[in-house]
């Protein structure tokens, strides 16, 4: 059902883009709009991961430079039946994570140092399982396409406003202005709707991969609180990047409204708690001793590592 909804929303976004092209240039305008969208999608299909990672100044790590973090991703990828993705760290106190790449064979996952220093090992595993679920569901490709078409709509709308404002033809000015202002707004709503439903699916997939829904629920609560206090410079400069992350990177980005990039965190946590009951996980006790990680003992940590904050609570 989620796949069907996503397909329908993508179709609506493409139709909106072509309709804007038709409004501005008739049948020829619609064809030009389609060609532009195809060209942009082809470019982003091959280069989106590089663009996103460079935007965040992400650095690749391995089993030597970040043994704990890398081992978590490696074990989760094996559990999920996925190829090992490239693993990145972003030097940023803002706690968040994302996945990128056109398919599971060319995927990458990234987490900020703020997230790695804030969460326990099981919680980090829950977050990375969520990101690997995005990879397995091919959400990274879908969201790249959506962002590309939405960006193209905004670009075409700005071009149309300039063109109509300089040709002196007022016959269709009202329709043009309506299309120019309404189309980007509608595209934004469709983009956010796709992002929200993809997050619920990745939460469930991540809980299945890690086998620990409650750890992901706990991580979401911590990350959401930290993200609300600590600004995300990349998302502030490029609001389109806000839909990448596991929790909203901008204020007002959540809440299950038309204008939110993510589902309400409380609703996500409630769904994961329900899953925990299905998994037979007992309710946590305040005085309980720390439980063993679902991924086994924590590997020995190299002191002085950039990821030394990755600890086990």
Distances (CA, A) of 212 to 41, 93, 171, 207: 36, 26, 61, 6
Residue showing tokens 């973090």:
69
CA nearest 66: which of 152, 5, 124, 144?
124
Per-residue model confidence as pLDDT tens digits over 33-58: 778 777 777 777 788 788 889 989 99
Residue among 60, 105, 131, 199 flagged as catalytic = 131
Per-residue model confidence as pLDDT tens digits over 92-139: 999 999 999 988 999 999 999 999 999 999 999 999 999 999 999 988
Order of all β-strands in the sheet with 97-101: 59-61, 86-90, 107-112, 97-101
Would the CA dihedral through 256, 257, 258, 262 be positive or negative? negative
pLDDT of residue 309: 44
88 in helix, strand or coil?
Answer: strand
Rounded Cα distance, 113 and 308, in Å: 10
Using CB atoms within 10 A of its CB, is residue 124 exposed (0-12), middle (13-18) or buried (19+)? buried
Which range, 18-22, 24-28, 30-34, 244-248, has the best average confidence (pLDDT)? 244-248
Q: What is the pTM of this model?
A: 0.76
Rounded Cα distance, 98 and 112, in Å: 9
How many Å is the maximal CA-CA distance in the chain? Answer: 75
> Has residue 173 got a pLDDT over 80?
no
Q: Regarding beta strands 86-90 and 59-61, do their DSSP bridges make them parallel or antiparallel, or are they unpaired? A: antiparallel
Rounded Cα distance, 83 and 243, in Å: 24
> Has residue 66 got a pLDDT over 50?
yes
For 90, phi and psi rounded to 5 degrees?
-115, 120
DSSP 243: G
For 296, phi and psi rounded to 5 degrees?
95, -175
Percent over 90 (pLDDT), the chain: 40
- Ranges 6-15, 48-57, 248-257: which has the least confidence: 248-257
HSE (side-chain half, CA atoms, 13 Å) at 128: 36
pLDDT of residue 292: 41
217 in helix, strand or coil?
Answer: helix
109 in helix, strand or coil?
Answer: strand
Contact status, residue 141 vs residue 45, Cβ threshold 8 Å? yes
Contact status, residue 120 vs residue 311, Cβ threshold 8 Å? yes
Query: Is there a catalytic annotation at residue 199?
Result: no
Rounded Cα distance, 31 and 191, in Å: 22
Contact status, residue 33 vs residue 21, Cβ threshold 8 Å? yes
User: Band of the pLDDT at 70, cuts 50, 70, 90?
Assistant: very high
């Amino acid at each position: 059902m989620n796949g069907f909804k996503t397909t329908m929303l993508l179709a609506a976004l493409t139709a909106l883009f072509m309709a804007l092209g038709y409004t501005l240039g008739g049948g020829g305008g619609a064809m030009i709009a389609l060609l532009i969208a195809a060209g942009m999608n082809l470019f982003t299909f091959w280069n989106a991961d590089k663009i996103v990672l460079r935007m965040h100044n992400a650095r690749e790590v391995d089993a030597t430079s970040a043994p704990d973090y890398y081992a978590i991703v490696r074990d989760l990828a094996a559990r999920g039946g996925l190829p090992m993705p490239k693993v990145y760290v972003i030097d940023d106190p803002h706690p968040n994570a994302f996945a990128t790449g056109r398919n599971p064979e060319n995927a990458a996952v990234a987490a900020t140092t703020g997230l790695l220093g804030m969460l326990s090992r099981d919680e980090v595993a829950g977050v990375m399982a969520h990101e690997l679920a995005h990879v397995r569901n091919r959400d990274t490709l879908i969201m790249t396409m959506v962002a590309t078409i939405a960006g193209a709509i905004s670009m075409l709308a700005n071009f149309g406003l300039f063109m109509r404002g300089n040709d002196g033809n007022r016959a269709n000015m009202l329709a043009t202005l309506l299309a120019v202002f309404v189309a980007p707004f509608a595209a934004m709503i469709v983009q956010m709707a796709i992002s929200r439903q993809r997050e619920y699916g990745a939460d469930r997939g991540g809980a299945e991969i890690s086998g620990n829904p409650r750890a992901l629920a706990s991580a979401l609560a911590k990350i959401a609180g930290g993200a609300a206090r600590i600004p995300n410079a990349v998302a502030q400069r490029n609001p389109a990047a806000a839909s990448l992350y596991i929790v909203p990177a901008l204020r007002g980005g959540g809440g299950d409204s038309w204008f939110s990039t993510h589902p309400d965190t409380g609703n996500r946590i409630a769904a994961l708690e329900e899953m925990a009951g299905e998994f037979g996980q007992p309710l946590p006790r305040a005085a309980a001793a720390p439980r063993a990680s679902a991924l086994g003992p924590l590997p020995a940590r190299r002191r002085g590592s950039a990821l030394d904050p990755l600890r086990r609570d």
